[in-house]
Amino acid sequence: YEVRFLTEELEGQLQYEYAQEFADRLEEKTDGRITTDVFEFGALGSEVNQFQEIQNGNVEFAIVSPGFTGTTVQEGQLFALQFLFSDDEDVNYQVLNESEALNEGLSEKYEEYNVKPLAYWSEGGMQWTGNSPLREPADFENFQMRTQESTLIQTSYEQYGADPTPLSWEELYTSLQLGNIDGQENPIFFIEDANFHEVQDHMTISDHNIYVAMTTVNTDFYNSLPDDLREAVDEVVDEMRPIAHEMQLEMNEDLLTAIEEDEDNPTEIYTLSEEERDAFRELAEPMQDFFRDDVGEDGAAILDQLLEEIEEAEAESGN
């Protein structure tokens, strides 16, 4: 089998490095019976187009950000709910790997579109950058905020008073540079590697969400594989869990230092206090009911189950 693996990022960035490691392991484990071509972002159009490519089987594997599937798999928008996950990365790691709400309930919703999520994993805490400081909700008043293409993300930023604009990340650097867009959200590694900090003066460590990515496979392709190759895929997916977690932690830490030390592009970094985070949390939490009403019963049930799972994992970890 010669297969294709699409990512939404570039070489050196997390999704691409994940996919390359995945490809190497799969080739080795299958003695070359599956060889994989890994693609950087942009090879087959925007993030939303890429999701179509995996749906129709033009590519076999893809890393997909649920924020770009909002117009198809409505339930996937639950990852846009801010302050939903734990502040403890280890708790989130466990929940993403073990959650039935996600790995069964939500995955079934994607399978209706012929896409099978194999793993949900975090690319790290999400932070804000802006051309002005972002410390309280009032700072978002009339702020042109770039978001992914999901009404739930957009509505969330409207709660803070912002004007959200959905955009592919490909156009983001130029839009920030021209000042058409005032700010954006992303994990630290991505802010640094995409050079957004060059065209933004402020970064707020808000950890208002985690960036969840999905490793996906085209369902028909997966089901057509002989049992031993399907098992090999499943094994590689499991091997990649701790690797992705480590890579994420390391990249986000190292590239925070890189932003701090970039003297040519000074960025004022501000970490929100718990009280400051609470002001955002208060405006974000009603979005859970918005999600329940907007997405419907199945989505509501997935969210409720996930909330319980997060709470249980928090309790177990002694938080």
Q: In whole angstroms, how close is the CB of 41 to ligand 6CS at the nearest point?
A: 7
Q: In whole angstroms, how close is the CB of 213 to ligand 6CS at the nearest point?
A: 7
187 binding ligand 6CS? (CB under 6 A)? yes
Which residue among 211, 221, 280, 291 contacts ligand 6CS (CB under 6 A)? 211
Helix H or strand E encompassing 216: strand 210-218
Residue type for 307, please? Answer: L
53 binding ligand 6CS? (CB under 6 A)? no
Of 163-182, binders to ligand 6CS (CB under 6 A) are 169
DSSP string, 7-55: -SS-TTSHHHHHHHHHHHHHHHHTTTSSEEEEE-TBTTBSHHHHHHHHH
Q: Which residue has the tokens 């995996």?
A: 54
Of 91-130, binders to ligand 6CS (CB under 6 A) are 123
Residue type for 85, please? Answer: F
| Closer by beta carbon to ligand 6CS, 117 or else 187 | 187
Residues in contact with 309: Cβ distance below 8 Å, sequence separation at least 6, in sequence order: 95, 98, 99, 100, 101
Count other C-beta atoms under 10 Å from residue 141's C-beta. 10
| Closer by beta carbon to ligand 6CS, 96 or else 225 | 96
Q: In whole angstroms, how close is the CB of 148 to ligand 6CS at the nearest point?
A: 5
Distance CA 38, CA 19 (A): 7
Cα dist from 183 to 157, 169, 176, whole Å: 12, 12, 7
Which residues are registered as beta bridge partners of 120? 214
Q: In whole angstroms, how close is the CB of 247 to ligand 6CS at the nearest point?
A: 13
Which residue among 190, 196, 221, 280 contacts ligand 6CS (CB under 6 A)? 190
Site string for ligand 6CS, 19-48 (x = CB under 6 A): ----------------------------x-
| Closer by beta carbon to ligand 6CS, 143 or else 211 | 211
221 binding ligand 6CS? (CB under 6 A)? no
186 binding ligand 6CS? (CB under 6 A)? yes
Tell me which stretch binds ligand 6CS (CB under 6 A): 30-38, 132-140, 183-191, 298-306. Answer: 183-191
Q: How large is the angle between the packed helices 89-98 and 297-316, nearest 10 degrees? A: 130
Give the burial class of 275: count Cβ atoms within 10 A of its Cβ; 0-12 exposed, 13-18 middle, 19 or more buried.
Answer: exposed
Site string for ligand 6CS, 126-165 (x = CB under 6 A): ----------------------x-----------------
Of residues 142, 283, 144, the one with CA closest to residue 206: 283
Instruction: State the residues that interact with ligand 6CS by CB under 6 A.
Output: 8-9, 47, 65, 123, 148, 169, 186-187, 190, 211
